[in-house]
Every structure is written in C-alpha cells, then in structure tokens.
Amino acid sequence: MTTTTTRLPADPKTIAEMIPVRQAEMKARKTPRCPLKHGRMVARTLERQTYEVMWCGVWYDCADPRCSTSTTYPSRELAAYHGEAYFTGSGYEKWDGAAWQPITDEQAGREFDARKTERERREAEMRAAARKPRRRHAA
C-alpha cells in the first residue's frame, strides 16, 4: 500500500510562540462585525486560550452580553492542513507542500466557490436522507 504525504509548514511549538503570530494576524485583518448588527466583535484574550483553540485561528466574540455569536479567522496552519487558500490581510496564498505561494483573488474565489458547492451538495444529501420514510419491520 502506498501513501502520499504532504509536508506541512512548521507549527509554533508553544502557546508563547503562537501569541505573537496571532497578534500579527489580528493587526493584518479587519475586526469582524456581529452578523446580528451588534457592532464590532471583540478578539478573545489570547493568553487564556488553549494551544488547540489558538492553532485554529483568531477568535472573536460579539461585544453585546446578550449575544453568543462568535467567529474565527482561520490560521495559516489550519489552511495548510486543509489545503485551502489563506488570506494574509492583503492577498491570498496557498501552501504547495514546500512553501507558501501567492495566488490571485480569482483563484482563491474559485476554491471557495468549489468548497461551498461541495458543502451544499453534502447538506442536500443529508436532508434527502432524513426525509426518506423509514421501513417498518413486520412484527
């Protein structure tokens, strides 16, 4: 049996190494707004996050105490792991197995559209499976 392995970029090894990386990501991007129109979201305190949560990206929560909306900007590490385009704050890049390569907005858009189409197809299959009547067994 043959397996293909893609080399991933080196991850920060500790939370202390990851904090400055995530801080730089936070500065490079716009602060998201709550989709429920509560205004700008607030970045979660990095020092209180686990390595695993921080590895996934930069997390934001709605500032309204009555709202539980959260969102994340995926990390470079997560994008590389999934083979997805990563937005740097000024453009897109993609890990090719050896190095980060710049890609155009159009290339990234096609990737995101393909991912959305695949997700919608899977969701439609799940809805169709849920609607099928269940067979009753004879007693």
Is 5 a member of any domain? no
d(C-alpha 126, C-alpha 109), whole Å: 26
Do 48 and 94 have their domain in common?
A: no
- Segments forming the whole domain that contains residue 19: 11-82
DSSP 58-124: EEEEESSTT---EEEEE-HHHHHHHT--EE-SSSEEEE-SSSEEEE-HHHHHHHHHHHHHHHHHHHH
pLDDT mean by block of 10 residues, the chain; 139 residues? 59 88 91 95 93 93 95 93 90 92 96 94 91 68
Do 21 and 58 have their domain in common?
A: yes
Give residue 1's pLDDT: 46
Do 49 and 110 have their domain in common?
A: no
